[in-house]
Structure 1
Amino acid sequence: MGKYDSTLLGSEEIAQAARAFHFEKPEGFDFTPGQSIDVVLPEGFPGETGDRRRTFSIVSAPDEDRLTVGTRMRKSAYKQPLAQAPPGEGVIIVGPKGTMALHDEPDRAIVMIAGGIGITPFISIIRSEAEQDSPRPMALLYANHRPRDAAYMDELRAHAKRLDNFHMVATMTAPEDGDGWDGETRRIDPEMVETAASGLPKPHYYIAGTPDMCEDMRQMLDDVGIEDDDIHSEDFTGYT
């Protein structure tokens, strides 16, 4: 794990109350899809009040020329200064790190379970696999309350349409009248996981979301007989 100087390139809204932040990719910075970084605001960063460090999953694929992270926005002493800073402000990148790194067994499939902004590490994985000559079989279960909360949905739909071996099930567990949602509304359950994984070769299972969601999904996978070594998850409050 290294420490690198970087620069904020800009940010954009990716869902209601969620933003992506783009940073200059430091020379020599290499990572595996699924990993995370710490973004440190240096002393003197505009508006910083001492709350200067957060961990974020990397959204961008390894061959992209910038580093992108995504997060739910809160009125915190860290996120507000970052959101209001102009492009060109310096930051410090620490990493890569994390246990969600994509496995290096090309003969095994990938099953991803995402809650809310927990989709971020899976965007990196899917983008990376989409660039391969022979992408691994992938299934994604993606849960949100409402469509407006679901980051990267247009991109995910495009991948699902283009990639023969990528299947996505999106579920909105609290849709409201006017949302126009006519898809799945169940919480992710064993039947959904078993259906998504059906026919996939020896899948690894990846979980990203709130701590409670990750704990529930791990227990569910354990209950249906998935071995612990095949389950990978990281939970931290930055996903909420």
Structure 2
Amino acid sequence: MSLPITKLVKKIEVAEQTMSFEFEKPAGFSYKAGQFADYTLMDPPETDKEGNTRGFSLSSAPYEPNLMCTTRMRDTAFKRVLKDMPIGTELELDAPYGSFTLHNKVARPAVFLTGGIGITPVRSMVLQSVHDRTGHTIVVFSSNKRPEDAAFLDELKHLEESSANVTFVATMTEPENSQQPWDGETGFIDQDMITRYVGDLSTPVYYLCGPAGLVSAMRSLLNGAGVDDDDIRTEEFTGY
């Protein structure tokens, strides 16, 4: 069976060295917020040992008209081709995959502990929850070095302002290196920071998303605070 074909319709820089790419949604295609897709370049002008296929979280919410993926722009053949790709270029789409999706029990808050580009599936899940009025209480922690590095920073701030159920906590670990003023949280996500915004740590379902080191550190922190692994869901980003 041949894979669906999608077309690039838009590309935009959403943070330093970070771009979002929007693709046409194939007819009949559906997915759950938080899932990912494999994109394959068709006859690219260059390639390397990493190949012509990449898996990206869908940073778009299912209700949005296009499919969006967001990625750090490392210097690889795939990402050079993607960055320079003309609008209208076709790619193969193999999706959806993954079970990093929002839990059903509305009585339990959803707490997202993310680092860097790990915010991508979280954007999808939070926007879809607000759109569907699921009623989940949502707290999103997003850790970056500087505001310039933080994808969807302004969008998620605005979402918090317009939604009573969403709390967005951005923290910067190197704000002194920023060209922008920063008056929000600083330092790495720790138990004190989480407790200030969440309260009882035993109640939520936790979603850990980002580099492997962050995911491991957050799991250890939560386990140390008495949170069971059954209440922790993870998605590691390696290599971007």
TM tier, smaller: over 0.9
Residue 133 of structure 1 is matched in structure 2 by 133
The match for 1:151 is 151
**2:112 equivalent to 1:112:** yes
Q: Tell me the alpha carbon deviations over residues 146-194 of structure 1, each in whole angstroms, 9 at most, x when there is no partner.
A: 0100111111011110111111111110012643112211200011122
3-state SS of the aligned residue for 1:80?
helix
Query: Which blocks of at least 5 consecutive residues in structure 1 are unaligned?
Result: none
Which amino acid in 2 is paired with 1:8?
Answer: L
Q: TM-score, normalised by structure 2?
A: 0.92
How many residues of Structure 1 are paired with residues of Structure 2 in the alignment?
A: 237
Shift in Å at residue 229 of structure 1? 1.2
Q: Which residue of 2 aligns with 1:234?
A: 235
Identity fraction in percent: 38
Q: Distance in 2 between matches of 1:49 and 1:199?
A: 48
1:213-228 matched pairs, under 5 angstroms: 213-228=214-229
Distance across 2 between alignment mates of 1:126 and 1:216: 23
Q: Shift in Å at residue 65 of structure 1? A: 1.5
Pairing of 1:8-27 with structure 2 (within 5 A): 8-27=8-27
* Aligned mates of 1:110, 1:124 — CA distance in 2: 14
Which residues in structure 2 correspond to 1:2-81 (within 5 Å)?
3-42=3-42, 44-49=43-48, 51-81=51-81
Relative to 1, partners in 2 of residues 1:225 and 1:187: Cα closer, same or farther, differing over 3 Å? Answer: same
2:176 maps to 176
Residues 186-237 of structure 1: CA deviation (Å, up to 9, x unaligned): 2000111222222689321001111111111111111111111111111132
Structure 2: unaligned runs, 5 residues or longer? none
Aligned equivalents of 1:64 and 1:96: distance in 2?
16
Instruction: For 1:182-221, list aligned pairs within 5 A.
Output: 182-198=183-199, 202-221=203-222
Q: Distance in 2 between matches of 1:164 and 1:174?
A: 30
Cross-structure match for 1:82? 82
TM (norm. structure 1) is 0.92
